[in-house]
Amino acid sequence: MERAYDPYENVVTVLEQAMDVGNIDRSMFEIIKNPQRAVIVYLPVEMDDGTVRVFEGYRVQHSNIRGPFKGGVRYHQDCDLNETMALSTWMSLKCAVVNIPFGGAKGGIKVDPKTLSKQELRRLTRRYTYAIEPIIGADSDIPAPDVNTNSQTMAWILDTYSMLKGKPCPGVVTGKPVELGGSRGRESATGRGVVISSKLILEQMGETLSGVRVAIQGMGNVGANAARIFHHRGAKVIAISDISGGLYCSDGLDIDLISDFVTDGENLLKDYNAPGVTHISNRELLLCECDILVPSAMENQINEELAQKIKCRFIVEGANGPTTAAADTILSERGINLVPDVFANSGGVIVSYFEWVQNIQTLTWERDQVNEMLEGIMTKAFYEILKEVEVSKCSLRMAAYILAIRRLLYAEEIKGIFP
């Protein structure tokens, strides 16, 4: 019988592979493997009908060796401690790969937010903030949006935390509304980073984004922004999907029209209709013939079975952990180039870093400046990864992990492990 997917086991497997490929001393593996702190909180919340429900929440702080813990907060019915541990590990690796002075953390609540009213969500978010208040802060651990959370969620966290501290604390979260100290460009940053990653890998083949056929799974913050930026940079987005299913058009979808449809009133793609557009399943999207496939939804989307059948030339991981370790090997054998999550979706945390810098220095930067700096950091990191590919004769994922592990372990070493 096939074993159930376990995200933490998956990330540990890839860490082990990278230590072998990069010939890294295994004596400190436990430090990289285990999070520094994992907290479970129970959150009593009054529902609109007067009943009380208790929700389970998490904050896992994987590493702060290179700077304050940093990472998003997810609201999802399948969220659990194990997934949050994996997501926090990816955050440490991501911040190290792109060399920003943050560690890694992740938070979450086991809840299907679609089943709650806006008031219930606000009360739940305030309870969660109250519960994790002792371990977060601008100089200790800085949450941000992830799946099913957004700038509104960050505004509630910011307000609750500031009330508890008796003063405005804008640096405690990133991804908040610009009006409350958010950074211009943060909302679209992860999607923009996915497009930058695609441009960089295409350049290696002497190609540009122009006319390239792209398929994107997930039409949320990451997928929708990536789709819009791909479209505006001359790529042809031929397929997109959300939880309800997907849309396909071989001549390219009208992303501006679809974005208006999806964001105005939170419609689902299954209800979108236009001439020349066909409805497809998420599986069909992942298997469609295209140049670049961008999984931007959840973990464990590309497994061994799909990896044998996928018909794209490149995979650029917008989501965290969309490809299993076993699928990775198959894709690599099939010559499909994969740009790994810990680099490809780093645009979000890079601009979160810019937001935090603006907050603690009471500065505001223009959007163009933010976008330019984002591209600069990602380009530099990409060439460092490529250099490691040459040295270690390995995939982009292995190279990114090796680079990140070395940086984390070097920080451990120069600090000295024991007081």
Ligand X SMILES: NC(=O)C1=CN([C@@H]2O[C@H](COP(=O)(O)OP(=O)(O)OC[C@H]3O[C@@H](n4cnc5c(N)ncnc54)[C@H](O)[C@@H]3O)[C@@H](O)[C@H]2O)C=CC1
Least distance (Å) between residue 326 CB and ligand AKG: 23
Measured CA to CA, the distance from residue 203 to residue 201 in angstroms comes to 5
Helix, coil or strand: residue 12: helix
And the tokens for 45?
Answer: 């919340």
220 binds ligand AKG (CB under 6 A): no
Q: Tell me: does residue 146 bind ligand AKG (CB under 6 A).
A: yes
Q: Least CB distance from residue 270 to ligand AKG, whole Å?
A: 27
Question: What's the min distance (Å) between Cβ of 346 and ligand X?
Answer: 7
Q: What would the DSSP string read from start to end of 247-282?
A: EE-TT---HHHHHHHHHTTT--GGG---TT-EEE-H
Asked if residue 225 binds ligand AKG (CB under 6 A), the reply is no
Q: With respect to ligand X, which residue has the nearer C-beta, 298 or 408?
A: 298
Contact status: 11 vs ligand AKG (CB under 6 A): no
CB atoms within 10 A of CB 415: 10
Return the number of the residue (126 or 176) whose C-beta is nearest ligand AKG.
176
Nearest C-alpha neighbor of 282 from the set 292, 290, 270: 270
Q: Considering the complex, what minimum distance in angstroms separates the CB of residue 350 from ligand AKG?
A: 8
DSSP character string of 102-151: --EEEEEEE--GGGS-HHHHHHHHHHHHHHHGGG-BTTTEEEEE-TT--H
Query: In this structure, are strands 141-145 and 104-110 parallel, antiparallel, or unpaired?
Result: unpaired
Residue 246 in contact with ligand AKG, rule: CB under 6 A: no
Instruction: Give the full edge-to-edge strand order of the sheet including 69-76.
Output: 37-46, 52-63, 104-110, 69-76, 141-145
Q: Contact between 144 and ligand AKG (CB under 6 A)?
A: yes
x/- track of binding to ligand X for residues 238-257 (CB under 6 A): ---xxx--------------
Judged by CB, which is closer to ligand X: 208, or 281? 281
Q: Choose the contact partner of 241 out of ligand AKG, ligand X, none; CB within 5 to 8 A by kind.
A: ligand X
- Using rule CB under 6 A, residue 146 touches ligand X: yes
Does residue 282 interact with ligand X by CB under 6 A? yes
When the beta carbons of 94 and 127 are compared against ligand AKG, the nearer one is: 94
CB-nearest residue to ligand AKG? 72
Closest by CA to 292, choosing from 213, 201, 210, is 213
Q: How far is the CB of 69 from ligand AKG (least distance, A)?
A: 10
Active site residue 309: no
From the list 106, 176, 199, 236, the catalytic residue is: 106
Residue 62 CB, nearest distance to ligand AKG (Å)? Answer: 12
How many CB atoms within 10 Å of residue 349?
Answer: 28
**Backbone dihedral region of 364: left (phi > 0), alpha (psi from -120 to 50 degrees) or beta?**
beta
> For residue 401, how many other CB atoms are within 10 A of its CB?
30
Applying CB under 6 A, the span of 41-49, 142-150, 161-169, 358-366 interacting with ligand X comes to 142-150
Q: Is 333 exposed, middle or buried (0-12, 13-18, 19+ CB in 10 A)?
A: exposed
By CB under 6 A, which span of 46-54, 131-139, 302-310, 347-355 interacts with ligand AKG?
347-355
Tell me: is residue 221 an annotated ligand-binding position: yes
Q: How many CA atoms lie within 13 A of 305 on its CB side?
A: 4
Size of residue set near ligand X by CB under 6 A: 24
Q: Please tell me whether residue 359 binds ligand AKG under the rule CB under 6 A.
A: no
CA distance 22 to 387: 13
CB 222 within 8 A of CB 194: yes
DSSP class per residue in 335-402: T-EEE-HHHHTTHHHHHHHHHHHHHHHT----HHHHHHHHHHHHHHHHHHHHHHHHHHT--HHHHHHH
In the shown chain, the binding pattern of residues 43 to 82 toward ligand AKG, with x for contact by CB under 6 A and - for none, equals ---------------------------xxx----------
Q: Check residue 226 for interaction with ligand X (CB under 6 A).
A: no
Task: Please report whether residue 19 would count as binding ligand X according to CB under 6 A.
Answer: no
Q: Is 214 helix (H, G, I), strand (E, B) or coil?
A: strand
Instruction: Please report how close the Cβ of residue 234 comes to ligand AKG at its closest, in angstroms.
Output: 27
Applying CB under 6 A, does 296 fall inside the site for ligand X?
Answer: yes
Q: How far apart are CA 304 and CA 243, in angstroms?
A: 21
Distance in Å from the first CA to the final CA of the chain = 47
Bind-site residues for substrate: 70, 94, 352
Binding site residues, ligand AKG, CB under 6 A: 70-72, 91, 94, 144, 146, 174-175, 320, 345, 348-349, 352
Binding site residues, ligand X, CB under 6 A: 145-148, 190, 217-223, 241-243, 282, 296-298, 318-320, 345, 348
Bind-site residues for NAD(+): 190, 221
Active-site positions? Answer: 106
Bind-site residues: 70, 94, 190, 221, 352
